[in-house]
Amino acid sequence: MELSTIFGCLAALSFVLVAWQLIVGLRFPFRRRTTANGNSCGITILKPVKGCDEETEACLLSWFEQDYDGAVQILFGVASLADPAVPIIERLIRTHPERQASLVHCEQNGGVNPKVSTLLQLHQHSIHPFLCVTDADVWAPHDYLREAAALLSSPRVGLINSFYQIKYRQGLGPRWEAFATNADFWSQVLQSATIKPLDFALGAAMVFRREEFEKSGGFQSIADHLADDYVLGRNLARRGLEIRLSSVVVECRSSSSSFYSAWLHQLRWARTIRTCEKQALPYFLSILGNATFWPWLWWMVVPVPQTGWAVLGLVTFRAIQGAILERRVTGRWDVTSIPMAWIKDGLQVAVWLLAFLGRTIWWRDARYRVNPGGKLTRIG
Protein backbone atom coordinates (compact mmCIF):
# COMPACT_ATOMS: atom_id res chain seq x y z
CA MET A 1 0.00 0.00 0.00
CA GLU A 2 2.84 2.41 0.81
CA LEU A 3 4.58 1.73 -2.51
CA SER A 4 1.28 2.16 -4.35
CA THR A 5 0.76 5.52 -2.68
CA ILE A 6 4.34 6.71 -3.36
CA PHE A 7 4.39 5.78 -7.03
CA GLY A 8 0.81 6.91 -7.52
CA CYS A 9 1.75 10.34 -6.16
CA LEU A 10 4.82 10.49 -8.42
CA ALA A 11 2.67 9.62 -11.44
CA ALA A 12 0.17 12.30 -10.45
CA LEU A 13 2.96 14.84 -9.97
CA SER A 14 4.33 14.11 -13.44
CA PHE A 15 0.83 14.74 -14.83
CA VAL A 16 0.63 18.09 -13.03
CA LEU A 17 4.01 19.15 -14.39
CA VAL A 18 3.26 18.30 -18.03
CA ALA A 19 -0.17 19.91 -17.73
CA TRP A 20 1.57 23.03 -16.43
CA GLN A 21 3.87 22.96 -19.47
CA LEU A 22 0.86 22.67 -21.76
CA ILE A 23 -0.88 25.67 -20.17
CA VAL A 24 2.13 27.99 -20.39
CA GLY A 25 2.85 26.72 -23.90
CA LEU A 26 -0.67 27.52 -25.09
CA ARG A 27 -0.50 30.99 -23.56
CA PHE A 28 2.79 32.06 -25.16
CA PRO A 29 2.11 34.56 -28.01
CA PHE A 30 3.97 32.84 -30.84
CA ARG A 31 4.20 34.90 -34.03
CA ARG A 32 2.57 37.97 -32.40
CA ARG A 33 4.50 40.99 -33.60
CA THR A 34 5.19 44.03 -31.45
CA THR A 35 3.30 47.28 -32.09
CA ALA A 36 6.03 49.36 -30.47
CA ASN A 37 8.07 51.76 -32.53
CA GLY A 38 10.96 49.99 -34.20
CA ASN A 39 14.54 50.52 -33.12
CA SER A 40 16.93 51.36 -35.94
CA CYS A 41 20.22 51.05 -34.01
CA GLY A 42 22.95 49.44 -36.04
CA ILE A 43 23.39 45.70 -35.49
CA THR A 44 26.49 43.57 -36.00
CA ILE A 45 25.75 39.89 -36.62
CA LEU A 46 28.49 37.55 -35.40
CA LYS A 47 28.26 34.15 -37.04
CA PRO A 48 30.88 31.44 -36.41
CA VAL A 49 30.84 28.85 -39.21
CA LYS A 50 32.35 25.38 -39.34
CA GLY A 51 31.53 22.99 -42.18
CA CYS A 52 28.42 22.97 -44.33
CA ASP A 53 25.55 20.82 -45.57
CA GLU A 54 22.64 21.22 -47.96
CA GLU A 55 20.92 23.74 -45.67
CA THR A 56 23.90 26.02 -44.99
CA GLU A 57 23.40 28.43 -47.87
CA ALA A 58 19.70 28.96 -47.10
CA CYS A 59 20.50 29.58 -43.43
CA LEU A 60 23.22 32.14 -44.17
CA LEU A 61 21.12 33.81 -46.87
CA SER A 62 18.28 34.45 -44.40
CA TRP A 63 20.51 36.92 -42.54
CA PHE A 64 21.24 38.88 -45.73
CA GLU A 65 17.48 39.18 -46.33
CA GLN A 66 16.52 40.71 -42.99
CA ASP A 67 13.91 43.47 -43.22
CA TYR A 68 15.55 45.97 -40.90
CA ASP A 69 15.69 49.77 -41.18
CA GLY A 70 19.01 50.20 -39.40
CA ALA A 71 22.54 49.41 -40.55
CA VAL A 72 23.50 45.74 -40.51
CA GLN A 73 27.03 44.37 -40.44
CA ILE A 74 27.50 40.60 -40.93
CA LEU A 75 30.75 38.98 -39.84
CA PHE A 76 31.38 35.34 -40.70
CA GLY A 77 34.21 33.61 -38.85
CA VAL A 78 36.03 30.44 -39.90
CA ALA A 79 38.98 28.77 -38.23
CA SER A 80 40.38 27.66 -41.60
CA LEU A 81 40.12 29.18 -45.06
CA ALA A 82 39.90 25.61 -46.37
CA ASP A 83 36.53 25.20 -44.64
CA PRO A 84 33.93 24.01 -47.21
CA ALA A 85 31.60 26.82 -46.15
CA VAL A 86 34.03 29.52 -47.37
CA PRO A 87 32.95 29.43 -51.07
CA ILE A 88 29.29 29.74 -50.01
CA ILE A 89 30.05 32.72 -47.78
CA GLU A 90 32.13 34.45 -50.45
CA ARG A 91 29.38 33.95 -53.04
CA LEU A 92 26.73 35.43 -50.74
CA ILE A 93 28.92 38.43 -49.93
CA ARG A 94 29.58 38.99 -53.63
CA THR A 95 25.90 38.76 -54.63
CA HIS A 96 24.71 41.06 -51.81
CA PRO A 97 26.93 44.14 -52.05
CA GLU A 98 24.26 46.22 -50.29
CA ARG A 99 25.12 44.42 -47.04
CA GLN A 100 28.24 45.23 -45.06
CA ALA A 101 29.42 41.62 -44.86
CA SER A 102 32.91 40.19 -44.33
CA LEU A 103 34.64 36.85 -43.96
CA VAL A 104 37.14 36.78 -41.09
CA HIS A 105 39.85 34.16 -40.70
CA CYS A 106 39.80 33.39 -36.96
CA GLU A 107 42.95 31.33 -36.59
CA GLN A 108 43.88 32.31 -33.04
CA ASN A 109 43.00 30.23 -30.00
CA GLY A 110 41.10 32.51 -27.65
CA GLY A 111 39.74 29.87 -25.28
CA VAL A 112 38.84 26.24 -24.80
CA ASN A 113 35.42 26.77 -26.38
CA PRO A 114 36.14 26.97 -30.14
CA LYS A 115 32.91 28.80 -30.92
CA VAL A 116 33.61 31.55 -28.38
CA SER A 117 37.20 31.75 -29.58
CA THR A 118 35.84 32.65 -33.02
CA LEU A 119 33.37 35.14 -31.51
CA LEU A 120 36.20 36.87 -29.65
CA GLN A 121 38.02 37.51 -32.91
CA LEU A 122 34.86 38.55 -34.79
CA HIS A 123 33.99 41.03 -32.05
CA GLN A 124 37.21 42.91 -32.75
CA HIS A 125 35.75 43.89 -36.14
CA SER A 126 32.23 44.79 -34.93
CA ILE A 127 31.16 48.43 -35.23
CA HIS A 128 27.51 48.70 -34.12
CA PRO A 129 25.92 49.21 -30.65
CA PHE A 130 23.77 46.06 -30.90
CA LEU A 131 25.27 42.58 -31.28
CA CYS A 132 23.52 39.51 -32.62
CA VAL A 133 25.12 36.11 -31.99
CA THR A 134 23.67 33.23 -33.98
CA ASP A 135 24.75 29.73 -34.93
CA ALA A 136 25.66 28.83 -38.51
CA ASP A 137 22.75 26.40 -38.89
CA VAL A 138 20.07 28.92 -37.88
CA TRP A 139 17.54 30.17 -40.43
CA ALA A 140 15.73 33.37 -39.38
CA PRO A 141 12.44 34.88 -40.62
CA HIS A 142 12.87 38.21 -42.38
CA ASP A 143 11.55 40.21 -39.41
CA TYR A 144 13.75 38.64 -36.73
CA LEU A 145 16.12 41.60 -36.29
CA ARG A 146 13.31 44.16 -36.42
CA GLU A 147 11.34 42.45 -33.66
CA ALA A 148 14.39 41.84 -31.47
CA ALA A 149 15.57 45.45 -31.76
CA ALA A 150 12.08 46.75 -30.90
CA LEU A 151 12.00 44.66 -27.72
CA LEU A 152 15.51 45.83 -26.85
CA SER A 153 14.46 49.50 -26.97
CA SER A 154 13.78 49.55 -23.22
CA PRO A 155 16.94 50.31 -21.20
CA ARG A 156 15.86 47.72 -18.60
CA VAL A 157 16.14 44.92 -21.16
CA GLY A 158 19.58 43.40 -21.58
CA LEU A 159 19.04 40.57 -24.05
CA ILE A 160 16.45 39.23 -26.49
CA ASN A 161 16.51 35.58 -27.46
CA SER A 162 14.19 33.30 -29.38
CA PHE A 163 12.81 29.84 -29.20
CA TYR A 164 13.90 27.61 -32.01
CA GLN A 165 12.51 24.60 -33.78
CA ILE A 166 14.56 21.82 -35.30
CA LYS A 167 14.02 20.90 -38.90
CA TYR A 168 14.95 17.26 -38.75
CA ARG A 169 16.12 14.65 -41.22
CA GLN A 170 14.79 11.10 -41.44
CA GLY A 171 15.72 8.62 -38.72
CA LEU A 172 15.04 7.91 -35.06
CA GLY A 173 17.94 9.99 -33.73
CA PRO A 174 17.05 13.21 -35.56
CA ARG A 175 13.36 12.74 -34.74
CA TRP A 176 14.16 12.23 -31.06
CA GLU A 177 16.19 15.43 -30.93
CA ALA A 178 13.54 17.36 -32.83
CA PHE A 179 10.75 16.29 -30.48
CA ALA A 180 12.85 17.02 -27.39
CA THR A 181 13.33 20.59 -28.62
CA ASN A 182 10.09 21.27 -30.51
CA ALA A 183 7.78 19.95 -27.78
CA ASP A 184 9.54 19.87 -24.42
CA PHE A 185 12.51 22.22 -24.25
CA TRP A 186 10.77 25.53 -24.96
CA SER A 187 7.75 24.71 -22.78
CA GLN A 188 10.06 23.82 -19.89
CA VAL A 189 11.81 27.18 -20.31
CA LEU A 190 8.42 28.91 -20.04
CA GLN A 191 7.57 26.75 -17.04
CA SER A 192 10.78 27.92 -15.35
CA ALA A 193 9.96 31.54 -16.21
CA THR A 194 6.69 31.30 -14.24
CA ILE A 195 8.73 30.59 -11.11
CA LYS A 196 11.41 33.26 -11.54
CA PRO A 197 12.56 35.70 -14.24
CA LEU A 198 14.85 34.25 -16.90
CA ASP A 199 18.50 34.58 -15.96
CA PHE A 200 20.00 32.66 -18.89
CA ALA A 201 19.94 32.88 -22.67
CA LEU A 202 19.15 30.47 -25.51
CA GLY A 203 22.07 30.41 -27.90
CA ALA A 204 20.48 29.83 -31.31
CA ALA A 205 19.92 33.57 -31.81
CA MET A 206 20.51 36.40 -29.32
CA VAL A 207 20.54 40.18 -29.62
CA PHE A 208 22.02 42.38 -26.88
CA ARG A 209 23.68 45.73 -26.25
CA ARG A 210 27.39 45.82 -26.90
CA GLU A 211 28.12 48.25 -24.04
CA GLU A 212 26.32 46.26 -21.34
CA PHE A 213 27.80 43.02 -22.63
CA GLU A 214 31.34 44.33 -22.43
CA LYS A 215 30.70 45.61 -18.90
CA SER A 216 29.49 42.13 -17.91
CA GLY A 217 32.79 40.56 -18.96
CA GLY A 218 32.38 40.13 -22.71
CA PHE A 219 33.34 37.01 -24.61
CA GLN A 220 36.50 36.57 -22.56
CA SER A 221 34.41 35.70 -19.50
CA ILE A 222 32.72 32.79 -21.30
CA ALA A 223 35.65 31.56 -23.41
CA ASP A 224 36.19 28.38 -21.36
CA HIS A 225 32.52 27.51 -20.75
CA LEU A 226 30.59 24.90 -22.67
CA ALA A 227 27.21 26.56 -22.01
CA ASP A 228 28.42 29.93 -23.31
CA ASP A 229 24.87 31.16 -24.01
CA TYR A 230 23.75 30.29 -20.48
CA VAL A 231 26.68 32.16 -18.89
CA LEU A 232 26.29 35.13 -21.26
CA GLY A 233 22.69 35.60 -20.16
CA ARG A 234 23.54 35.04 -16.52
CA ASN A 235 26.23 37.74 -16.62
CA LEU A 236 23.76 40.28 -18.04
CA ALA A 237 21.04 39.27 -15.55
CA ARG A 238 23.48 39.85 -12.69
CA ARG A 239 23.71 43.46 -13.80
CA GLY A 240 19.98 43.79 -13.15
CA LEU A 241 18.96 43.55 -16.80
CA GLU A 242 15.93 41.61 -18.07
CA ILE A 243 16.21 38.62 -20.38
CA ARG A 244 13.21 38.52 -22.72
CA LEU A 245 11.85 36.09 -25.27
CA SER A 246 10.87 37.15 -28.77
CA SER A 247 7.70 35.73 -30.34
CA VAL A 248 9.70 35.05 -33.52
CA VAL A 249 10.73 31.41 -33.88
CA VAL A 250 13.97 30.62 -35.71
CA GLU A 251 14.85 27.26 -37.24
CA CYS A 252 17.88 25.06 -36.60
CA ARG A 253 18.30 23.28 -39.90
CA SER A 254 21.10 20.95 -38.98
CA SER A 255 20.56 18.02 -36.67
CA SER A 256 22.12 14.69 -35.93
CA SER A 257 22.37 12.32 -38.88
CA SER A 258 22.39 9.14 -36.79
CA PHE A 259 21.07 7.81 -33.52
CA TYR A 260 24.58 7.67 -32.07
CA SER A 261 25.33 11.32 -32.82
CA ALA A 262 21.93 12.27 -31.35
CA TRP A 263 22.79 10.28 -28.25
CA LEU A 264 26.14 12.05 -27.84
CA HIS A 265 24.47 15.43 -28.34
CA GLN A 266 21.74 14.77 -25.78
CA LEU A 267 24.27 13.48 -23.26
CA ARG A 268 26.46 16.55 -23.82
CA TRP A 269 23.46 18.78 -23.29
CA ALA A 270 22.46 16.94 -20.11
CA ARG A 271 25.95 17.05 -18.59
CA THR A 272 26.21 20.72 -19.54
CA ILE A 273 22.98 21.65 -17.75
CA ARG A 274 23.87 19.57 -14.70
CA THR A 275 27.22 21.32 -14.25
CA CYS A 276 25.94 24.88 -14.79
CA GLU A 277 25.86 27.09 -11.73
CA LYS A 278 22.76 26.44 -9.58
CA GLN A 279 21.37 23.92 -12.07
CA ALA A 280 22.38 20.62 -10.46
CA LEU A 281 19.32 20.40 -8.19
CA PRO A 282 16.79 21.58 -10.83
CA TYR A 283 18.23 19.07 -13.29
CA PHE A 284 18.04 16.29 -10.69
CA LEU A 285 14.37 17.14 -10.06
CA SER A 286 13.60 17.31 -13.79
CA ILE A 287 13.01 13.53 -13.84
CA LEU A 288 9.82 14.17 -11.85
CA GLY A 289 8.23 15.60 -15.00
CA ASN A 290 8.66 12.37 -16.97
CA ALA A 291 4.99 11.56 -17.52
CA THR A 292 5.66 8.22 -19.21
CA PHE A 293 8.23 6.76 -16.81
CA TRP A 294 6.40 7.29 -13.52
CA PRO A 295 2.98 6.02 -14.62
CA TRP A 296 4.52 2.83 -16.04
CA LEU A 297 6.60 2.36 -12.91
CA TRP A 298 3.42 2.71 -10.89
CA TRP A 299 1.78 0.00 -13.04
CA MET A 300 4.77 -2.33 -12.56
CA VAL A 301 4.52 -1.92 -8.77
CA VAL A 302 0.72 -2.17 -8.63
CA PRO A 303 -0.47 -4.21 -11.67
CA VAL A 304 -4.20 -4.05 -11.00
CA PRO A 305 -6.98 -2.98 -13.43
CA GLN A 306 -7.65 0.32 -11.65
CA THR A 307 -3.97 1.30 -11.94
CA GLY A 308 -3.89 0.16 -15.57
CA TRP A 309 -6.75 2.45 -16.58
CA ALA A 310 -5.18 5.38 -14.73
CA VAL A 311 -1.80 4.75 -16.40
CA LEU A 312 -3.44 4.52 -19.83
CA GLY A 313 -5.09 7.89 -19.27
CA LEU A 314 -1.85 9.52 -18.07
CA VAL A 315 0.37 8.32 -20.92
CA THR A 316 -2.33 9.19 -23.46
CA PHE A 317 -2.49 12.72 -22.09
CA ARG A 318 1.30 12.97 -22.29
CA ALA A 319 1.28 11.96 -25.96
CA ILE A 320 -1.46 14.46 -26.82
CA GLN A 321 0.30 17.17 -24.83
CA GLY A 322 3.54 16.59 -26.75
CA ALA A 323 1.77 16.70 -30.12
CA ILE A 324 0.01 19.97 -29.26
CA LEU A 325 3.18 21.64 -28.03
CA GLU A 326 5.16 20.54 -31.07
CA ARG A 327 2.47 21.95 -33.34
CA ARG A 328 2.58 25.25 -31.42
CA VAL A 329 6.22 25.84 -32.32
CA THR A 330 6.34 24.26 -35.79
CA GLY A 331 2.88 25.29 -37.03
CA ARG A 332 2.02 21.80 -38.28
CA TRP A 333 0.75 18.46 -36.99
CA ASP A 334 3.07 15.45 -37.09
CA VAL A 335 1.57 12.01 -36.56
CA THR A 336 4.89 10.73 -35.20
CA SER A 337 4.59 13.10 -32.22
CA ILE A 338 2.37 10.57 -30.42
CA PRO A 339 4.86 7.67 -30.20
CA MET A 340 7.85 10.05 -29.94
CA ALA A 341 6.54 11.38 -26.63
CA TRP A 342 6.85 7.91 -25.13
CA ILE A 343 10.14 7.07 -26.88
CA LYS A 344 11.72 10.37 -25.83
CA ASP A 345 10.63 9.93 -22.21
CA GLY A 346 12.11 6.44 -22.12
CA LEU A 347 15.44 7.54 -23.58
CA GLN A 348 15.51 10.56 -21.31
CA VAL A 349 15.64 8.35 -18.22
CA ALA A 350 18.92 6.83 -19.44
CA VAL A 351 20.35 10.23 -20.43
CA TRP A 352 19.35 11.72 -17.06
CA LEU A 353 21.07 8.90 -15.18
CA LEU A 354 24.26 9.05 -17.27
CA ALA A 355 24.47 12.82 -16.76
CA PHE A 356 25.36 12.10 -13.12
CA LEU A 357 27.78 9.25 -13.89
CA GLY A 358 30.46 11.17 -15.76
CA ARG A 359 31.78 14.50 -17.00
CA THR A 360 33.22 13.53 -20.40
CA ILE A 361 31.60 14.79 -23.61
CA TRP A 362 32.28 14.78 -27.36
CA TRP A 363 31.90 18.09 -29.18
CA ARG A 364 33.08 19.11 -32.65
CA ASP A 365 35.09 15.91 -33.05
CA ALA A 366 37.00 16.54 -29.83
CA ARG A 367 36.77 15.13 -26.31
CA TYR A 368 36.33 17.36 -23.25
CA ARG A 369 35.80 17.13 -19.53
CA VAL A 370 33.09 19.39 -18.09
CA ASN A 371 34.32 20.73 -14.76
CA PRO A 372 32.17 22.05 -11.89
CA GLY A 373 30.68 25.36 -12.94
CA GLY A 374 30.55 24.30 -16.59
CA LYS A 375 34.15 25.07 -17.60
CA LEU A 376 35.81 22.85 -20.20
CA THR A 377 39.11 21.00 -20.24
CA ARG A 378 40.15 19.41 -23.51
CA ILE A 379 41.26 15.80 -23.26
CA GLY A 380 44.05 14.76 -25.62
| Span 207-242, pLDDT tens digits | 999 999 999 999 999 999 988 999 999 999 999 999
pLDDT score recorded for residue 256: 62
Residues 75/125, Cβ–Cβ less than 8 Å: yes
pLDDT score recorded for residue 56: 93
pLDDT score recorded for residue 374: 82
The CA angle 355-361-364, to the nearest 5 degrees, is: 145
Low-confidence ranges of the chain (pLDDT < 70): 1, 35-39, 255-256, 277
pLDDT score recorded for residue 37: 59
pLDDT score recorded for residue 2: 84
Indicate the pTM of the whole model.
0.92
Would you state the torsion angle of the CA atoms of residues 288, 292, 298, 301, taken in this order, to the nearest 10 degrees? -120
**Domain definitions of the chain by residue range:** 2-27+277-376, 43-267
pLDDT score recorded for residue 68: 92
Identify the CATH assignment for 43-267 out of 3.10.20.30, 3.40.50.300, 3.90.550.10, 3.90.1150.10. Answer: 3.90.550.10
pLDDT score recorded for residue 375: 87
**Within the chain, how many helices (H) and strands (E) appear?**
14, 11
